[in-house]
Structure 1
Amino acid sequence: MGSKKLQVWLPVLFAIVMVVGMMIGYQLKDKAAGNKFFNLNRRTSIQDLVELIRNRYVDKVNVDSINQLAASELLSHLDPHSVYIPANKVKEANEDLMGNFQGIGVEFQILADTVNIMHVIEGGPSEKVGLKVGDRMLAVNDTAKVAGVNITSDGIRKLLRGEEGSTVKVQVLRDGVKRDFMIQRGVIPVSPIDAAYMIEPGTGYLRINKFADRTYEAFMLNMEKLQKQGMKQLILDLRGNGGGLLKEAISIADAFLSGDKLIVYTEGENMKRAEYKCSTEGIFETGKLEVLIDETSASASEVLAGALQDWDRATIIGRRSFGKGLVQQPFILSDGSEVRLTIARYYSPLGRNIQKPYAKGKAIYEEELMERYHNGEVVVGDTAKPTGKAYKTPGGRTVYGGGGITPDVFVPMDTTHMDPAAVKLYYKSTLNSYVYHYYINNRPFFDKMKNPEQLTKEFVPGEKEWQGLVSFAKKDTINLAPVTQKGKTEVLKRIQSLMARQIWRAGGFFEVSNRTDPTIQRALEGFK
C-alpha cells in the first residue's frame, strides 16, 4: 500500500524539487562567467542543423519544437537540474517563486465535472464583488462554459488569471439561481508560511512551504507575533519544502545565528567561491530551536538546515533530506526561452556538499526516493547510515556530506496509519470532496467555530460521519467495508483536519493535524 502511495506522489514531489529548488541561482547572476556564451557571434553546428531542417526538410517542421528537443537532449547529459523552458512557459515557471500571481483570488476544486469555489481569499477581487464558498462556476466571459465539459484545473486557471486591472465575467450557480459577477483581476499574494502558532505555552511552531520572494519578510512578521505571545523555543518545520530563493534561506539563517558566521558558500568550475555570512543581529539567536525535515526537503531548505546543524544551533529531526546541492542560474535565450544551467555547488559552513550522486543518469536519480522506501530507510533509521564524508561541528557532533542532510534524531515514516482499503479516498480526492460537501450542508454549525481548538472539541467525527462517507464513497466506486477499525479511526481524524483546512486553510489544517503528528510529538519531547 505504502509503495503505491509513494509511486503516485513521487513525480509530484520531484517536480516540486525541480521547479522550486533550481531557482536558487537567481542571486548569483553577477558572479557567473557563463553569460559570455551568449555574446559569441560564431555559428555552431547545432544552429546550422536547425536551419538546414527548417529550409530543406521534406515536411513542415515546428522550429520551436526542434529547438526544445535539441536543448532538452543536450541538457539531459549534464545533471538532473539543468533544464530548458520554452518561451511560452517561462512566466508560469517563474510565477510561483515570486510569491504572488495575477487573478481573481479563489481556490477551487472540480467535483462531478463542476468547478466549486472552495475558498475566497480575504480582501481579494472575488470577495470584493461577493463571490462565496459553495458557488458553482458555470461560465467565464459568457462563451467559455466550465461546467459539464470535462474542464481541467489548468484550463480554469488560464481562464481566470490575467493581467492586473483586466476584468473577467464569471457566472455561478448559488442556491439554484444563476448570478453574474464582473471581477477586476488583481495581484494575489501566496503565503510561504503554512502555519505559525503557539503549539504549547512557550513553544512556537512555524512551517515554511517554500523560499519565495519576501518569505523572509513573512517569517519575521510571524516570529514577532509568536514572541509577543511568549515564545521561548521554536519548532521550524521544513518538511515538504522543495527550496527556492537562496537569499531568503540565507536571511532566515541569519535570524538564528550570531556574529558573522558563514552560512553557505558556492563554487563551480567556472565560478569562484562566493561566501554568504551573517550580517545582522538575529531575532532568535539563543532560544532552543528544532528543525523538522524529510525526504522532500531540498535545496534552500538544506542550506538552512545544514547551516544550523553545522553551528550546533538546532537539533535536526525527521528523515534524511532530498540531497540537492547544485545551483542553477537562469539564462534568457534569443527567442525568449530560458535555460536554467547548473553553475555551482553549494557547501555548508563545514564544507559539506549534500548533493546526492547522479552519475547513473536522470532516471536512477529520480527513483532514488522510491529506493529509500524499498530498502526500508524511511521506516528504519539503521538503514539510513550516512556514506558521505564525516565532519565535526564546534560542539563535537559528527555530521555527514553527500546525499542530503542526515537528521540528529530520526523519526520513521508512519506506513501503518493508512488502511489499504481506504487509499482510494486520497487518490481520487473523495475524502476532500466529502469534507467540502459536509461543510456546505452544515455551514451554520461550522460558522460558530472561532478557532481550530474549538473545532477539535465540538466536531469529533464518529459513526454518523463514517456512514456518510461510506455512502459518498460508493459514488466514486470505492468500497470501504474492508477498512479496519484502526484505518477507520485514522480516516475520521483526517476528516477533522481537512475540515479545519476548509475553514482556516493550511494554518487550521496543521494546527489540528499536528496534535497527532509523531514528528511533532518527538520535537516537543526534545524540549522537555
Structure 2
Amino acid sequence: MKTQTRVGAGLLMGMILGVMLSISFGVVADRQESSQAVPLEDLRAFTDVYMRIKRNYVDEVEDSDLLENAIRGMLSGLDPHSTFLNSDEFSELQIGTQGEFGGLGLEVGMEDGFVKVISPIDDTPASRAGMRAGDLIIRLDDTPVKGMTLNEAVSKMRGPKGSDITLTVVREGREAPFEVEITRDTVRVQSVRSEMLEPGFGYLRVTTFQSRTAQMLVEEARALQKESGGLKGLVLDLRNNPGGILNGAVGVSDAFLNDGLIVYTEGRVKDSEFRYTASPGDVLNGAPLVVLVNAGSASASEIVAGALQDHERAIIMGSSTFGKGSVQTILPLDKGEALKLTTARYYTPAGRSIQADGIEPDIKLEQITLAESGEPGIRPITEAQLSRHLAGENEKADDEEGEETLESLAQRDYQLYEALNMLKGLDLLQARR
C-alpha cells in the first residue's frame, strides 16, 4: 500500500511533507442525485453504534470528533489514497502547489503502517540530511509511527522553521534502524535546472511539476540551444521527482512531441475521464532525448516518461518507477473541508496502466559509484589518460580537460554519465544516416 492527490476539484498525485501535494486543477462533478437507494438499515446500525459510544465510552466524546473519525474511516477503508481533509489540511494542500512551503521536503506515503519515503526533494532539509527514496520512517522523535494515519504523521513532521525532529529510519541494505536529525525550514522548490554537460549536449533537471514548469523547461532548453549553437541531444532528469500538477506534466511532454495522445484517464463516473493531446512543435527539433527515472519518479513523472516512451521520442534509462497511476478528486464540503476520493486511473498513450506497475526503462541502469565497480581492468587506462603523456597529432589542448570532466561526471553520477554516452551514440547514428 502506498499513499499520495486532483484539487479544487483537481488531480493530485502525492503528499509532500510541508505540505506539498501534486495537484492539477480541473473539475469533476459532485453529483447531487444517486440512482442507489439510501441503505436505511445500515444507517440505523451506524446510529446505534454512535449512541453506544456516546453513552459508554470511558471519556466524554464530542459529536464533531466522532463524526470526523467516522468519515475518515469510510474513506481510509477504500484505498490508501482516499481520505478526509479538515479545513487546515485542505488549506495547506492548496498552498503547497505554489513552490514554497514549510517542512522537511519529503514526498511520503504509508506502507504496512509505516511512513515510506517516495522521494526527497532536491536541495531541501531532507535531501541534505541524506534521506533516500524507499526509506521507512518508524519513529518521529520518541513516537512510534505504527498506528498513525498519514495525515497525523505529516502533521507531526511539520513544525516551526528552525526546529528539529529526529526520524528513526529503516533502510534496505542496513542491518539496524538509525536516526536522522533534520532541522525544519521553508522549502523553496526550483522546479527546473539546466547545465551544459558538453558542447552540444544539454541537461535539464525537473524536480517537481508546478504551474510554470513546462514554460520554464522550454525557456531553459532554448537557452541551452543558444549557448551551444544548437543541441545535439538532451538528458531530461526525472529521478526522485515525486510528481506535481498534471498540466505541468502534460506541458513538459508536449514540449518534445508534435502530436498525439499524451495521457488519458478512465473511471466509473464519466466526468472523471480526460484526454490530453500534444500540439505541434518540438523544442529540440527532433534531437535525441534520454530520460532518467528511478523508484522515486512518481505520478506526473511517470506520465511524462510513459508518453515519451510510447511515442518512441525518448530512450528511458534508469530503474523502474514508483507506480502511482490513480486519480484522486478533491470534493469540497462545507466549513472549508473536503473529501479526497479516488475516481480514475491514468493510462499512457498505448493504453498501459501506470498504477502499481510503473514505467519500465528501455535500458535498466542502477546508480553505482566507480568504487563499487572497481575491480582492476573494468575501466582500462589508456595512453591518453597517463599523466604527462606524449600528445597525439590530432589531440587538442582541451581534450585532456574534457576527459577529466567525464571522469568527474562518472564519479558524481554514473547514470547521467551513461545517459550522455547514449546521447553521443544516438547523435553519431543520426549523422551517418
Partners of 1:189 and 1:410 in 2: CA distance:
32
> How far 1:282 moved relative to its partner?
3.3
1:18 to 10, 14, 28: 14
Aligned residues of 1:238 and 1:292 also touching (Cα < 8 A): yes
Aligned in 2, Cα 1:254/1:285: closer, same or farther, shift over 3 Å? farther
Match of 1:207 in 2: 205
Matched, 1:523 2:419: yes
285-294 or 266-275, larger mean C-alpha shift: 266-275
Aligned-partner SS, 2:90: helix
2:365 to 402, 411, 432: 411
Partners of 2:324 and 2:15 in 1: CA distance:
12
> How far 1:246 moved relative to its partner?
0.8
Aligned residues of 2:306 and 2:359 also touching (Cα < 8 A): yes
Number of residue-to-residue matches in the alignment: 304
Partners of 1:239 and 1:300 in 2: CA distance:
12
Partners of 2:32 and 2:91 in 1: CA distance:
24
Q: What per-residue deviation string (whole Å, max 9, x for no partner) do you get for residues 152-201 of structure 1?
A: 98432399xxxxxxxxxxxxxxxxxxxxxxxxxxx9963212x3110111
Partners of 2:14 and 2:82 in 1: CA distance:
9
Partners of 1:416 and 1:80 in 2: CA distance:
39
> How far 1:322 moved relative to its partner?
0.7
> How far 1:517 moved relative to its partner?
1.1
Partners of 1:416 and 1:75 in 2: CA distance:
48
> How far 1:220 moved relative to its partner?
2.3
> How far 1:25 moved relative to its partner?
6.4
Aligned in 2, Cα 1:416/1:52: closer, same or farther, shift over 3 Å? farther
TM-score after normalising by structure 2 = 0.60
Partners of 2:188 and 2:69 in 1: CA distance:
35
> How far 1:214 moved relative to its partner?
1.7
> How far 1:312 moved relative to its partner?
0.3
Aligned residues of 1:331 and 1:340 also touching (Cα < 8 A): yes
Name the Cα RMSD after superposition.
Answer: 4.1
Partners of 2:23 and 2:48 in 1: CA distance:
31
Q: What per-residue deviation string (whole Å, max 9, x for no partner) do you get for residues 428-481 of structure 1?
A: xxxxxxxxxxxxxxxxxxxxxxxxxxxxx9xxxxxxxxxxxxxxxxxxxxxxxx
Aligned residues of 1:332 and 1:339 also touching (Cα < 8 A): yes
> How far 1:81 moved relative to its partner?
1.7
Query: AA paired with 2:422?
Result: G
Match of 1:270 in 2: 269
Q: What per-residue deviation string (whole Å, max 9, x for no partner) do you get for residues 205-229 of structure 1?
A: 1111111222222222222221211
Q: What per-residue deviation string (whole Å, max 9, x for no partner) do you get for residues 389-414 of structure 1?
A: xxxxxxxxxxxxxx110000101243
Structure 2: give runs of 5+ residues left out of the alignment: 6-11, 106-122, 124-155, 164-185, 373-400, 402-407, 425-433
> How far 1:244 moved relative to its partner?
1.2
> How far 1:262 moved relative to its partner?
0.6
Aligned-partner SS, 2:327: strand
Identity among equivalent pairs (%): 35
Aligned residues of 1:232 and 1:288 also touching (Cα < 8 A): yes
Q: What per-residue deviation string (whole Å, max 9, x for no partner) do you get for residues 294-320 of structure 1?
A: 011111111110000000000000001
Partners of 1:320 and 1:93 in 2: CA distance:
28
Match of 2:160 in 1: 156
Partners of 2:419 and 2:65 in 1: CA distance:
50
Match of 1:192 in 2: 191
> How far 1:341 moved relative to its partner?
1.0
**Structure-to-structure mapping, 1:340-489, within 5 angstroms:** 340-356=340-356, 403-414=357-368
Matched, 1:36 2:32: yes
Query: AA paired with 1:516?
Result: R
Aligned in 2, Cα 1:223/1:57: closer, same or farther, shift over 3 Å? farther
> How far 1:86 moved relative to its partner?
2.5
